[in-house]
Each structure stands twice: as structure tokens, then as C-alpha cells.
Structure 1
Amino acid sequence: ELKRKPGFKVGELSVLTFRRECLQGLVKVVVKLQEKSPLKFQVVRQTACLNPSRMHRDPDWCIRQMKGIVQTFLQGKHLAGGIPAADVIIQQFTSLLSLEGRGEQFRSFQPFKQRVDVFLHLTLSPSYMDLLRFCQSVLLLSRGQDTVERGFSINKE
């Protein structure tokens, strides 16, 4: 029980007011976190298509999401080569999912044991170089993910 001074009880109204103010403060913090969260952007949610186990489990969904990412890059004029380059990326991604994506290494991928960027680099090079470069660009969009960025560092070569 809350007490201000020995022998003095805090009123029920004060307790309710305090709880309401705490709740309002918590709501403000959560709203601010949601405003700053990258998950509010469609392209960030679409990057889930780069999850190898998801590629194995639901290739059609992954292709739709990849098309959405490519479309976003095209609209923002961030894809060198324009529509022909976009077509190549989609074609390579579809090919990846129909061939390698059916394999055991995709099905059994464990993100806590292996990094996605390392897995994709090993899987995509040298057969899918256009797709690899695009995936690097997509993964570099994630702010604050310096471990991902370090994995694709051009200085690392």
C-alpha cells in the first residue's frame, strides 16, 4: 500500500490519477516508437521474402513481395538499368526459388546460427549476380544494422 508519511494513507483518487498519468505516458512512448519504426514502410515488411526458410515454404508469396520491392526501387529511380534490370532481377529470383530454393539448406536455415546476408552471398554468387547486387541494396536500407552492412562492405574485399 502506498504511503506518503508514516501513518498517512494516499487517497484512492491520487492513486488512480497516478496510474492514469503513467498509462498516458506509456501510450505516448509506444506511439513515438511506432512513428520511428521502419516496419511502417511496406518495403521493409516485404524484405521478409529474403528469408531462406520462407523462400522454401512459400515461394509464390516471396515472388510477390520481391516484385513489390523491385517496383518500389523502380518508382524511386533507385534501380540502375530501369525496367530491363527489374525483369532480370525478378527472373533470377524466380529461378533461384524454383531451383536452389527447394533445397534442404533453404528449408533448414536458422537465422540465429547463420546470417542472412552471408547465406545469400554464398548462394547467389556467381550464378545470380544481378539479384545479389539488388539484395545487397535492399539489405543496406536497414538503418542501424551495421552487422548486415559490414557483411556487404566493399572494403572487405
Structure 2
Amino acid sequence: MDVTKLRVGFVTERGLVEHMKKNSGAERLRLEFRQNCKLFLLKMVSKLFEKAPLKYPLVRNLSVLDPRALLKSKEVSTRKLTTVLRLLVETGRIEDKCCDEIIREFGHFYDHSLMSASDSFRDFNPHSGRLDEFYQEHLSNKAECRHLWEVVKLVLVLSHGQASVERGFSVNKEVIVENLKEHSLIAQRVINDHVHSVGGLLNIAYTKELLLSAASARQKYLDVP
């Protein structure tokens, strides 16, 4: 990287120019400053790669599940899937005798289902669409791809951490009171999860059935033996 072409920002660049006008030997300091900026960027990126999951071969090859990348090359996608299968075999997640069948099913899926639905793969938007729902639609109902679908489901859960489970413990702690029965706790959690899923109380659809059920809740409670 040519340090003279390194962009340090408008304000910083302006300050360097003004400093050079006032000091005759400022050119050397200017180059040293840019060199230090370069070293900082290199070390920062290196540190990010150390912490990023991209350092793992499995994560890098999971790009085979990106519908947009999948459409570009069957050969590259098959090679990445083969690497994923090898790593899953090494960790005991699948049996090696199933791999050839999975590769065959992938080839059949690519040549038939993918090509016939290429527009949906090309237009997939990861910001508004869910990958699990996408493959649920394109794979789950195809008996000829059942082994491939099992592998897709297996690798899609790898990125799921424990954050949602731990948040659930916090919610339970907030709603639990004395003499609270299990069914009451479950009901409150269902309500809480639904409110979060729709984006808040203002987005809840208050249907006629819901209002009638709420109005008769007290009577239902009294009728319980």
C-alpha cells in the first residue's frame, strides 16, 4: 500500500497541509504519520481476523448456502459443500457413507430446482429474508433432497448462540411471583414472546376473538374446579 495515497480524513489532511506550510521539515513527519496509520490499520484488521469466525474453514465454506453465491457456479458450490461435509464427518455430525448421496442430491437440486427458480435465488435479500425460511420453501418438500435438507438444517443452527436462552431466564425472573403456577408462567411467556415478535404493543392485532376471550377470562378462572 502506497502510504501517500492513504486517506486519513478531510480534517486530518487539512491539518497536515497547514503543518507543512509552517514547518520546512514536516514532509518527513507527514510520511511517518501516514506510515503509522498504515500499521494501525494492518494490526486492527489482523486482530479482527483473529476474533472473527471467518478463520474457521467451515464458516468460510458455508457461503455455499448464500442463494446469490450459489447461483454463480455449480463447480465452486460443490467444492465448498464437499469441504463442509468433510468437516462434519470429522466432527462426527454425519456419517461418511451419506456424503456421496448428499452431493448427488445437491447436483440434482442445482440442475433442476435451482435453475427453475433462479430469480428467487438471485433476488434473495439477507436483510429482509430469512435463510432458514428460504430453504424451507425450496428444499423441505422435496423427497429427492431429504439428506441435503438435513445437512442444511444442521449447519444453519451453528450460528445460533445462547443469547436468546439467557434472555429467557431474565424474563422468567421478572414475571415469577409467589404461588405462580406453571401454566400461568407459560402463558405470560407466550404473551411476552408474541409482543416482541410483532414489534411492540402497538402492533398487536386486537381481534374480536381476542377481546371476547379476555372479557370471559375471569369466568373461565372461576369455572376451573
Q: Which amino acid aligns with 1:27?
A: L
Q: CA deviation at 1:24?
A: 2.9
Partner residue in 1 for 2:97 = 84
Share of identical aligned residues, percent?
A: 26
Q: Which residues of structure 2 form unaligned runs of 5+?
A: 1-17, 164-225
Query: 118, 122, 125: which is aligned to 1:108?
Result: 122
Corresponding residue for 2:55?
40
Residues 8-23 of structure 1: matches in 2 within 5 Å?
12=26, 17-23=32-38
- The residue type paired with residue 90 of structure 1 is I
Q: Per-residue deviation at 1:129?
A: 3.3
Q: Distance in 2 between matches of 1:58 and 1:16?
A: 44
* CA–CA distance in structure 2, aligned partners of residues 123 and 24 of structure 1: 47
Give the partner amino acid of 1:45: R
The question of whether the paired residues in 1 share the 8 Å contact of 2:71 and 2:122 is answered with: no
Instruction: Give SS of 2:103's match.
Output: helix
Would you say the 8 A contact 2:78–2:103 is kept in 1?
yes
> d(CA) in 2 for partners of 1:87 and 1:59?
16
C-alpha contact 1:55 1:101 (8 A) present in aligned 2 = no
* Aligned partner letter, 1:44: V
Matched pairs, number:
140
Aligned-residue RMSD, C-alpha: 3.1
Q: Quick check: 2:58–2:84 contact (8 Å CA) kept in 1?
A: yes
Q: Matches of 2:67 and 2:29 in 1, distance apart?
A: 54
Following TM superposition, by how much is the alpha carbon of 1:19 offset from its aligned partner in structure 2, in angstroms? 4.4
Instruction: Provide the C-alpha distance between the structure 2 equivalents of 1:75 and 1:99, rounded to a whole number of angstroms.
Output: 30
The more displaced of 124-133 and 104-113 is 104-113
Q: Which is bigger in relative contact order (C-alpha 8 A, separation at least 6)?
A: 1
- Residue equivalent to 1:123: 138
Asked if the contact 1:56–1:103 (Cα under 8 Å) also holds between the matched residues in 2, the reply is no
Q: How is 1:89-100 mapped onto 2 (pairs within 5 angstroms)?
A: 89-100=102-113
Judged with a 3 Å threshold, the aligned counterparts in structure 2 of structure 1 residues 17 and 54 are, in CA distance, closer, same or farther, namely: closer
Provide the C-alpha distance between the structure 2 equivalents of 1:143 and 1:39, rounded to a whole number of angstroms.
Answer: 16
Return the offset for 1:72: 1.3
Correspondence list, 1:44-55, <5 A: 44-55=59-70
Distance 2:51 2:68 in 1: 28
What is the CA deviation profile of residues 19-63 of structure 1, one whole-angstrom value per residue up to 9, with x for unaligned ones? 444433332211101222222333222222222233333223212
Could you say if the C-alpha distance between residues 106 and 90 of structure 1 is closer, same or farther in structure 2, counting changes exceeding 3 Å? farther
Shift of 1:15: 5.3
TM-score (norm 2): 0.50
- Residue 106 and residue 58 in structure 1: after superposition, are their counterparts in 2 closer, same or farther (change >3 A)? farther
Structure 1: runs of 5 or more not aligned = 3-7, 147-157
